[in-house]
Structure 1
């Protein structure tokens, strides 16, 4: 009888460990060598003003789509939405044996604001003999919403008129001031000399999809960015996705050393403590 109970207990524990391992493996974005034979036929992040919901209220639609030529072992997309430099939302979805992922959400807001969203589209391709390769792409969008009592509700992606240019300048300047103040505090707390680094706000790293880091090829840059997202997903995205916080979460800053041998990702966590991820650049 005791032997039976022991066997049952071992089976239950093994099953629970299997479920836990599966969950942890699914909640990971991991870099593997890139598969040059695979490419996205669609990858897009889109922000749009959809409607006015009431007095001083409007909706912004946050949409992410990606599609591959064929289903692969694991597809995963993650998207970060910032409003005036503060984290507004995180969306993430993984699917097995799938080619397409779509994320869609409406955000209720008020007042004039600058919205920015960056998305990381990722996939794992498994081949015989335990060979694993990966595929990645980043997309970005921004939207200015002008909600003023002196003019009709308006939105734009890129300023065209003088009116839009003035609003974009005002909103961007206000956000930049607030962010640089926070980033300076973080660097001082961690005793990091800003003069030794090139600073990149997190949303700006999508530019490295087609513009390699100084002294690196595009392929080398892609690997560096993939490993950056691997750490960011594990240490920033997953913890914040599972935690609620009343503290404002400011946009992370990427610090790339001027001799290009390492980088830092600085951010404040759910307890408003500054955190630093370090990545060695080979």
Structure 2
């Protein structure tokens, strides 16, 4: 049985205080996301992620415009937005933007493809706030978008966010099933490789995590859930966005890896993050909850 790699720089404790052995993939020249206790007095005025299709093809490829915007209700010492874009369950784009002493961030990129796809984009919006003395707090929010593009030689290029016609509903069913198949294969391989049972966990594919901003994970309070989400994104930035640490110690580019699947143990002791690299290697990262051993 393979051992899990630990995700993030600290135990994912609800009190955010138990420090663990560091296992991080961070270039010192890179900004990073570091979770601090949440500040309920600070709110995001707006935060959005949007995907749209350019009308004209470019060298037989369609182009997706990917836009992310966020606005805090005050200037923050550090503002950060981290975005991930998946096509049919595989990572196809990523970006992270940060700036100091500002409230607003905006970023826009484009992605080229030549196949029909379901696009899932999710962004973690984060603010680091410095108060009186040495007190550091944070504010966080997520936004996401889902978008379908039908790029077929048998019909005109088309796209939709919500399926309305029978043709769109048929395509949605096909593409949704394609994503499910990709993630199920990744999870099944991880179960066999690392000898665990997904039935002992609450399964949360990354494209569904935003729902837990408004409802708690089963067995946790809303505040505990928010802390879990913040520490999870800290770990994802260091151990997925910047590169996936493999079992041999090398670091793999996350592009074309599978969408992370978060598994929260039903005994509330830990969570796992499951993905598969572009070369097919199964990776499972682990974070402890509440300082468990």
TM-score, normalising length from structure 2?
Answer: 0.82
Q: Which residue of 2 aligns with 1:177?
A: 181
Distance in 1 between residues matched to 2:175 and 2:230, nearest whole Å: 31
Distance in 2 between residues matched to 1:194 and 1:155, nearest whole Å: 34
Paired residue secondary structure (1:53):
coil
Q: Which runs of 4+ in 1 moved over 4 A?
A: 243-247, 269-272
| Correspondence 1:83-232 to 2 at 5 A | 83-232=87-236
Cα deviations by residue, 1:21-46 (Å, 9 ceiling, x for unpaired): xx749622111111111111110000
Cα deviations by residue, 1:193-222 (Å, 9 ceiling, x for unpaired): 122112211121111111211122211110
Q: Which moved more, 1:194-203 or 1:34-43?
A: 194-203
Report the aligned-residue RMSD.
2.2
Gaps of 5+ in 1: 1-22
Q: Which residue of 2 aligns with 1:41?
A: 45
Paired residue secondary structure (2:182):
helix
Deviation at 1:53, TM superposition (A): 2.0
1:254 paired with 2:258, answer: no
Q: Choose from 49, 52, 67 the match for 1:63.
A: 67
Distance in 2 between residues matched to 1:213 and 1:245, nearest whole Å: 30
1:274 paired with 2:278, answer: no
The alpha-carbon distance between structure 1 residues 227 and 68, as it changes in their structure 2 partners (threshold 3 A), is same
The answer to whether the 8 A contact 1:59-1:107 is kept is yes
Distance in 1 between residues matched to 2:66 and 2:134, nearest whole Å: 37
Q: Which residue of 2 aligns with 1:265?
A: 273
The alpha-carbon distance between structure 1 residues 259 and 187, as it changes in their structure 2 partners (threshold 3 A), is same
Deviation at 1:72, TM superposition (A): 0.9
Distance in 1 between residues matched to 2:151 and 2:277, nearest whole Å: 30
Deviation at 1:147, TM superposition (A): 1.5
Deviation at 1:177, TM superposition (A): 1.2
Q: Which residue of 2 aligns with 1:31?
A: 35
Paired residue secondary structure (2:268):
coil
Paired residue secondary structure (1:189):
helix
Q: Whose RCO is larger (CA < 8 A, sep 6+)?
A: 2
Distance in 2 between residues matched to 1:148 and 1:53, nearest whole Å: 12
The answer to whether the 8 A contact 1:32-1:133 is kept is yes
Deviation at 1:168, TM superposition (A): 0.2
The answer to whether the 8 A contact 1:56-1:111 is kept is no
Q: Which residue of 2 aligns with 1:4?
A: none
The alpha-carbon distance between structure 1 residues 58 and 269, as it changes in their structure 2 partners (threshold 3 A), is closer
Paired residue secondary structure (2:37):
coil
Deviation at 1:109, TM superposition (A): 1.3
Gaps of 5+ in 2: 1-26, 245-250
Deviation at 1:271, TM superposition (A): 6.3
The answer to whether the 8 A contact 2:147-2:160 is kept is yes
Q: Choose from 56, 74, 77 the match for 2:78.
A: 74
